[in-house]
Amino acid sequence: MTFPRRAITKEQPYRINFVCLGNICRSPTAEGVFQHLVTEDELDEYFEIDSAGTGSWHVGNPANSKSQEVANQHGVKLFSRARQAVPSDLEYFDLVVAMDHSNAADLQTMVVKPEQDDKIVLLRDFDPDPDDGAVPDPYYGGMDGFKKVFDIVYRSCRALLDDLKKDIK
């Protein structure tokens, strides 16, 4: 798996943005889980973490109540408020992690420089069990879908952080 790597220091924290469609289910879960793992590993000073949605319907809203419930069951708090992804995210962040292929394609329409394209990856590129590469959208389904999303997101974020830890100086 290739993605933009650099030395990660306290002076230059690695900036990661997780992106889905609504920014109320999958990407807030990924943001909260990654933040939780970073804090658990005492690496807060080395990472800057955010999330966004390609759509604007839910801007300003907290994470979906089912996403929050599943996360809380695992000791993970979801604090984010939805915002819409903007082209400048592809300049600001080191890595822009899409939840599914459609989110990645939408982000690719915002690319203005080749190096920005390299920043767009799928979360499941890091999943030891990647299936079709997409974190399935749980929005219209029941609790089972939200639990599945949490499990996928958790193990993928764990793998992503373990990989990035190699770059901490």
Pick from 169, 167, 137: which is nearest to 153 by CA?
A: 137
CA atoms within 13 A on the CB side of 105: 4
Is 100 part of the annotated catalytic residue set?
no
50, 106, 127, 137: which one is catalytic?
A: 137
| β-bridge pairing 47-53 and 95-98 | unpaired
Our finding on whether 32 is near ligand 4NP (CB under 6 A) is no
**Contact yes or no for 84/51 (Cβ under 8 A):** no
Within 10 Å of residue 114's Cβ, how many Cβ atoms? 7
| Minimum CB distance to ligand 4NP smaller for 24 or for 38 | 24
One residue of 16, 21, 33, 37 binding ligand 4NP per CB under 6 A? 21
Is 26 part of the annotated catalytic residue set?
yes
Smallest gap from residue 78 Cβ to ligand 4NP (A):
11
Q: Give catalytic residue positions.
A: 20, 26, 137
Site residues (CB under 6 A) for ligand 4NP? 20-26, 53, 57, 137, 139
